[in-house]
Amino acid sequence: MTWVTAIASVAAAQQASAAGKYNQAVQERNAKVKEQEAEQAEKQLDFDLARFDQQFVKLQGETKTAILTSGAELSGSGLRILQYNAEQAEIEKNILDYNSKVAQSQKMEEANFARMSGQIARNEARAAQIGYYAKAGESLLKAYG
Protein backbone atom coordinates (compact mmCIF):
# COMPACT_ATOMS: atom_id res chain seq x y z
CA MET A 1 0.00 0.00 0.00
CA THR A 2 2.89 2.32 0.76
CA TRP A 3 4.33 1.82 -2.71
CA VAL A 4 0.97 2.64 -4.24
CA THR A 5 0.79 5.90 -2.30
CA ALA A 6 4.36 6.76 -3.26
CA ILE A 7 3.80 5.94 -6.92
CA ALA A 8 0.54 7.92 -6.95
CA SER A 9 2.31 10.88 -5.35
CA VAL A 10 5.12 10.76 -7.93
CA ALA A 11 2.55 10.58 -10.73
CA ALA A 12 0.69 13.52 -9.22
CA ALA A 13 3.95 15.47 -9.04
CA GLN A 14 4.62 14.79 -12.70
CA GLN A 15 1.06 15.81 -13.54
CA ALA A 16 1.43 19.04 -11.56
CA SER A 17 4.63 19.82 -13.42
CA ALA A 18 2.99 19.17 -16.79
CA ALA A 19 -0.01 21.31 -15.86
CA GLY A 20 2.27 24.14 -14.76
CA LYS A 21 4.25 24.02 -17.98
CA TYR A 22 1.04 23.95 -20.01
CA ASN A 23 -0.47 26.92 -18.15
CA GLN A 24 2.75 28.86 -18.55
CA ALA A 25 2.79 28.09 -22.29
CA VAL A 26 -0.82 29.27 -22.60
CA GLN A 27 0.00 32.54 -20.87
CA GLU A 28 3.12 33.01 -23.00
CA ARG A 29 0.93 32.59 -26.08
CA ASN A 30 -1.51 35.13 -24.65
CA ALA A 31 1.39 37.52 -24.12
CA LYS A 32 2.52 37.14 -27.72
CA VAL A 33 -1.02 37.83 -28.94
CA LYS A 34 -1.12 41.03 -26.87
CA GLU A 35 2.25 42.09 -28.30
CA GLN A 36 0.92 41.48 -31.79
CA GLU A 37 -2.12 43.59 -30.94
CA ALA A 38 0.22 46.38 -29.83
CA GLU A 39 2.07 46.14 -33.15
CA GLN A 40 -1.25 46.21 -34.96
CA ALA A 41 -2.25 49.37 -33.07
CA GLU A 42 0.95 51.01 -34.30
CA LYS A 43 0.25 49.95 -37.89
CA GLN A 44 -3.31 51.19 -37.53
CA LEU A 45 -1.95 54.56 -36.43
CA ASP A 46 0.17 54.78 -39.58
CA PHE A 47 -2.89 53.96 -41.68
CA ASP A 48 -5.12 56.42 -39.81
CA LEU A 49 -2.56 59.21 -40.12
CA ALA A 50 -2.14 58.60 -43.85
CA ARG A 51 -5.91 58.61 -44.35
CA PHE A 52 -6.22 61.73 -42.21
CA ASP A 53 -3.53 63.50 -44.26
CA GLN A 54 -5.40 62.63 -47.47
CA GLN A 55 -8.64 63.99 -46.06
CA PHE A 56 -6.89 67.10 -44.79
CA VAL A 57 -5.31 67.84 -48.16
CA LYS A 58 -8.74 67.43 -49.73
CA LEU A 59 -10.32 69.73 -47.14
CA GLN A 60 -7.66 72.39 -47.63
CA GLY A 61 -8.11 72.19 -51.41
CA GLU A 62 -11.87 72.53 -51.08
CA THR A 63 -11.43 75.44 -48.68
CA LYS A 64 -9.05 77.24 -51.08
CA THR A 65 -11.45 76.65 -53.93
CA ALA A 66 -14.37 77.97 -51.91
CA ILE A 67 -12.40 81.06 -50.90
CA LEU A 68 -11.22 81.79 -54.42
CA THR A 69 -14.60 81.13 -56.08
CA SER A 70 -16.24 83.49 -53.62
CA GLY A 71 -14.13 86.25 -55.08
CA ALA A 72 -11.98 86.64 -51.98
CA GLU A 73 -8.22 86.50 -52.05
CA LEU A 74 -6.03 84.10 -50.13
CA SER A 75 -5.23 86.69 -47.51
CA GLY A 76 -6.76 87.87 -44.27
CA SER A 77 -9.73 85.69 -43.30
CA GLY A 78 -9.00 83.11 -45.99
CA LEU A 79 -5.47 82.55 -44.74
CA ARG A 80 -6.67 82.46 -41.14
CA ILE A 81 -9.14 79.73 -42.06
CA LEU A 82 -6.43 77.68 -43.74
CA GLN A 83 -4.10 78.26 -40.79
CA TYR A 84 -6.82 77.27 -38.33
CA ASN A 85 -7.50 74.09 -40.31
CA ALA A 86 -3.77 73.25 -40.25
CA GLU A 87 -3.59 73.83 -36.49
CA GLN A 88 -6.66 71.68 -35.88
CA ALA A 89 -5.19 68.97 -38.10
CA GLU A 90 -2.03 68.89 -35.99
CA ILE A 91 -4.08 68.65 -32.82
CA GLU A 92 -6.12 65.81 -34.30
CA LYS A 93 -2.97 63.97 -35.40
CA ASN A 94 -1.52 64.37 -31.91
CA ILE A 95 -4.70 62.91 -30.43
CA LEU A 96 -4.55 59.95 -32.82
CA ASP A 97 -0.91 59.40 -31.90
CA TYR A 98 -1.59 59.69 -28.17
CA ASN A 99 -4.53 57.28 -28.28
CA SER A 100 -2.47 54.80 -30.25
CA LYS A 101 0.40 54.99 -27.77
CA VAL A 102 -2.03 54.45 -24.89
CA ALA A 103 -3.52 51.40 -26.64
CA GLN A 104 -0.06 50.02 -27.38
CA SER A 105 1.00 50.54 -23.78
CA GLN A 106 -2.12 48.78 -22.50
CA LYS A 107 -1.48 45.80 -24.76
CA MET A 108 2.14 45.56 -23.63
CA GLU A 109 0.99 45.74 -20.01
CA GLU A 110 -1.51 42.93 -20.71
CA ALA A 111 1.34 40.93 -22.26
CA ASN A 112 3.48 41.46 -19.17
CA PHE A 113 0.60 40.45 -16.93
CA ALA A 114 0.04 37.28 -18.97
CA ARG A 115 3.72 36.38 -18.58
CA MET A 116 3.57 36.99 -14.84
CA SER A 117 0.43 34.84 -14.61
CA GLY A 118 2.23 32.10 -16.48
CA GLN A 119 5.21 32.30 -14.15
CA ILE A 120 2.89 32.17 -11.14
CA ALA A 121 1.14 29.10 -12.55
CA ARG A 122 4.51 27.45 -13.10
CA ASN A 123 5.68 28.30 -9.57
CA GLU A 124 2.44 26.99 -8.06
CA ALA A 125 2.89 23.77 -10.01
CA ARG A 126 6.46 23.46 -8.74
CA ALA A 127 5.26 23.92 -5.19
CA ALA A 128 2.60 21.25 -5.70
CA GLN A 129 5.18 19.01 -7.34
CA ILE A 130 7.50 19.34 -4.34
CA GLY A 131 4.58 18.62 -2.02
CA TYR A 132 3.75 15.42 -3.89
CA TYR A 133 7.37 14.30 -3.88
CA ALA A 134 7.53 15.03 -0.16
CA LYS A 135 4.38 12.96 0.35
CA ALA A 136 5.93 10.09 -1.61
CA GLY A 137 9.09 10.32 0.49
CA GLU A 138 7.07 10.46 3.69
CA SER A 139 5.13 7.34 2.70
CA LEU A 140 8.34 5.45 2.00
CA LEU A 141 9.95 6.66 5.25
CA LYS A 142 6.95 5.53 7.28
CA ALA A 143 7.03 2.14 5.67
CA TYR A 144 10.78 1.55 5.71
CA GLY A 145 12.15 4.14 8.09
Question: Which residue, among 20, 5, 18, has the nearest Cα to 132 in the 3D structure?
Answer: 5
State mean pLDDT over 29-47: 95
Cα torsion 43, 45, 48, 53 to 10°: value is -110
| CA torsion through residues 35, 37, 43, 48, sign | negative
Is residue 137 over pLDDT 80?
yes
pLDDT of 83-99, one tens digit each?
A: 999 999 999 999 999 99
pLDDT of 74-133, one tens digit each?
A: 788 888 889 999 999 999 999 999 999 999 999 999 999 999 999 998 889 888 888 888
**Rounded to 5 degrees, what angle do the CA atoms 10, 114, 98 make?**
175
Residue 10 CA to chain centroid, in angstroms?
A: 38
Question: Which residue, among 93, 101, 17, 6, has the nearest Cα to 51 in the 3D structure?
Answer: 93
Mean pLDDT of the chain: 89
State mean pLDDT over 45-51: 96
pTM of the model: 0.71
Count, in order, helices (H) and strands (E) of the chain: 2, 0
